[in-house]
Structure 1
Amino acid sequence: MAADPLTAALTRAAGWLAAADGLLINAGAGMGIDSGLPDFRGPGGFWGVYPALGRARIAFEEIANPAAFARDPQLAWGFYGHRLALYRTTEPHAGFALLREIAAQLPQGAFVFTSNVDGQFQKAGYPAERICEIHGSIHHLQCSRPCSERIWSAAGFAPEVDHAACRLRNEAPHCPQCGALARPNILMFNDWHWLEQRSAAQQQALADWLGQVRRPVVIEIGAGSRIPSVRRFSEQYGQRLIRINPLESDSPPGSIALPLGGLAGIRRLAAAYSALA
């Protein structure tokens, strides 16, 4: 009896991994759902997490915007402060470790390319020098002006947020050089002041790694088409692309589509790979 299409796809994907010398892990927002992180896709989903913004009819694109910090810093930092605290306390799901275990068996290991700003890969034990955060990181700050190119850690800032109002209760962080309001070092909507040096250095490290890998396999998890940065990168570098996505698994010819959630897809793939050993 012939295997069902999903089993056949997993077997083919496992064969790719067995022949690979490096693993490129490309992660979108769907990677964090199984860790309990919210999905902001669509105004209804976003306002469900932030009802105060829903009552005020403030869309994600409006609050994730430098203009929000100029207009109402306590509201903007209420939103980002809540996210910062959430990401600090969230434990990465088991799929992060499973991918690390696969990568540990490959000569060139793994490199992460992600649009997520949550720092979950670092928390899951991936080395910082093997992570490229193309939209920046909420765990780093910059001046909102900005007065210089300085980027610094947000570790010293402990946000206290009124969740019902989505407003910061305590004092917002400020630039240590000029005293202006600080903001996350994240690429926002309509953002002309994002300091990209940290991300640019990560992209160069990724380019250097790609130059050393001869048989890469790309595993893409939870990357949507609404902001297609990760999907485009996967298709650019993924001669062997495994796309894990429960809603948007459509993939280029020759690639492998796994219409599963992030953790479920990683578990099935890891099991198929282990079965080859």
Structure 2
Amino acid sequence: MNTNYQQRIDRAKAIIQEADYILLGGGAGLSAAAGITFSGKRFTDHFGDFIDKYGFTDLYSSGFYPFETQEDKWAYWARHIQLNRYDTGTTQLYLDLYELVKNKKHFVISTNVESQFEKAGFASSSIFEIQGNYGYLQCEKGCHDTLYDNEELVKKMVEQTVDCKIPTNLVPKCPVCGGTMDVNLRINEYFVQDEQWHMSERMYRSFLQDSENQNVVYMELGVGFNTPGIIRYPFERMTYHNEHATLLRFNQDEPAGLAENQHKTIAFTEDMNQAFQLIRT
């Protein structure tokens, strides 16, 4: 281990121990580091038939494929959801994160949608999944603001998929307008924000208010530039305006941030799993 890396580990450990508040921002890179990858062997092992039929190359781009029928669409999405939301258990990286902050006042805002924070022990009241959750369905056109648990239906879809299609009787229909359903993901203007979503947003705003100008650590975890206005830019801004704040950025590809925050930022491009194990010890 090089000296600079050890110094950053030691500094991160100290500022976490001294912090009064910790705000975690989880992005796609965090789940990828935890093993929830969208390409490579994990993808080819579980989606061989879809790869053969559609030429899919990864789980991210295949999510935008314009399926011809609802039977085609839900055969793919059911397996996607089953793998990432239900079959994947709690990952060690998320457990390490929880152990690191559980005795501090903390909150999570995440663009991830597979519920890993909650699986690892974070209280649901301390998590704001701002982009949705794989575990719920909504009206495709957002005709009403109720979400529907999909675990039982997804399991049936996966079990009854034949030639990359599900039976017509399993295609979900909106109970209000009778139209088609969608996964509760922020992919268009019809994204449903139910009462739980709004409650989580209020809890997030309350945490920001309580921690303003306090000794706070902003932990930015695998956040890129797909949606920088949700976590990356706000964390930079709050660090800049709070003289007591420190920004911990874990990002292998894009660690650079505001020059004005350099003295208040500890950036890690190294493997997150190793870094958190070292910080915890």
Q: Which amino acid aligns with 2:142?
A: P
Residues in 2 aligned to 1:84 and 1:61: alpha-carbon distance in whole angstroms:
12
Structure 2 counterparts to residues 181-196 of structure 1, below 5 A: 181-188=180-187, 191-196=188-193
- The farther-off stretch of 113-122 and 234-243 is 234-243
Residues in 2 aligned to 1:227 and 1:81: alpha-carbon distance in whole angstroms:
25
- Are the counterparts in 2 of residues 35 and 92 from structure 1 also a CA contact under 8 Å? no
Of residues 57, 70, 84 in structure 1, which corresponds to 2:81? Answer: 84
CA deviation after TM superposition for structure 1 residue 267, in Å: 1.5
Give the match for residue 235 of structure 1: 236
Give the match for residue 157 of structure 1: 153
Instruction: Show structure 2 runs of 5+ residues with no match.
Output: 240-244
Give the match for residue 274 of structure 1: none
Give the match for residue 70 of structure 2: 73
Give the match for residue 23 of structure 1: 22
- Are the counterparts in 2 of residues 47 and 54 from structure 1 also a CA contact under 8 Å? no
Instruction: Show structure 1 runs of 5+ residues with no match.
Output: 272-277
- Are the counterparts in 2 of residues 24 and 219 from structure 1 also a CA contact under 8 Å? yes
- Are the counterparts in 2 of residues 27 and 220 from structure 1 also a CA contact under 8 Å? yes
Q: Which amino acid aligns with 1:248?
A: E
Give the match for residue 127 of structure 1: 123
- Are the counterparts in 1 of residues 128 and 197 from structure 2 also a CA contact under 8 Å? yes
Residues in 2 aligned to 1:234 and 1:78: alpha-carbon distance in whole angstroms:
38
In the alignment of these two chains, the number of paired residues is 260
Residues in 2 aligned to 1:10 and 1:58: alpha-carbon distance in whole angstroms:
40
Residue aligned with 2:94, SS: helix
Q: Which amino acid aligns with 1:232?
A: Y
- Are the counterparts in 1 of residues 91 and 116 from structure 2 also a CA contact under 8 Å? no
- Are the counterparts in 2 of residues 234 and 241 from structure 1 also a CA contact under 8 Å? yes
Of residues 200, 209, 212 in structure 2, which corresponds to 1:211? Answer: 209
1:64 to 1:39, Cα distance in 2 relative to 1, 3 A? closer
Q: Which amino acid aligns with 2:74?
A: W
- Are the counterparts in 1 of residues 34 and 94 from structure 2 also a CA contact under 8 Å? no
- Are the counterparts in 1 of residues 161 and 167 from structure 2 also a CA contact under 8 Å? no
Q: Which amino acid aligns with 2:19?
A: A
Give the match for residue 261 of structure 1: 271
Give the match for residue 96 of structure 1: 94
Of residues 99, 102, 105 in structure 1, which corresponds to 2:103? Answer: 105
TM-score normalised by structure 1 residue count: 0.80
Q: Which amino acid aligns with 1:211?
A: Q
- Are the counterparts in 2 of residues 93 and 263 from structure 1 also a CA contact under 8 Å? no
- Are the counterparts in 1 of residues 16 and 217 from structure 2 also a CA contact under 8 Å? yes
Residue aligned with 1:266, SS: helix
RMSD of equivalent CA atoms: 3.0
CA deviation after TM superposition for structure 1 residue 177, in Å: 2.6
CA deviation after TM superposition for structure 1 residue 143, in Å: 0.9
1:93 to 1:180, Cα distance in 2 relative to 1, 3 A? same
Residue aligned with 1:125, SS: coil
1:263 to 1:75, Cα distance in 2 relative to 1, 3 A? farther
Give the match for residue 275 of structure 1: none
Give the match for residue 222 of structure 2: 222
Q: Which amino acid aligns with 1:13?
A: A
- Are the counterparts in 2 of residues 30 and 262 from structure 1 also a CA contact under 8 Å? no
Residues in 2 aligned to 1:80 and 1:143: alpha-carbon distance in whole angstroms:
15
Q: Which amino acid aligns with 1:97?
A: L
Residues in 1 aligned to 2:224 and 2:42: alpha-carbon distance in whole angstroms:
16
TM-score normalised by structure 2 residue count: 0.79
Could you report, residue by residue, the CA deviation over 1:34-73 in whole angstroms, capped at 9, with x for unpaired residues? 4431236xxx9998675636864668777545x947x532
- The farther-off stretch of 158-167 and 192-201 is 158-167
- Are the counterparts in 1 of residues 34 and 93 from structure 2 also a CA contact under 8 Å? no
Q: Which amino acid aligns with 1:89?
A: D
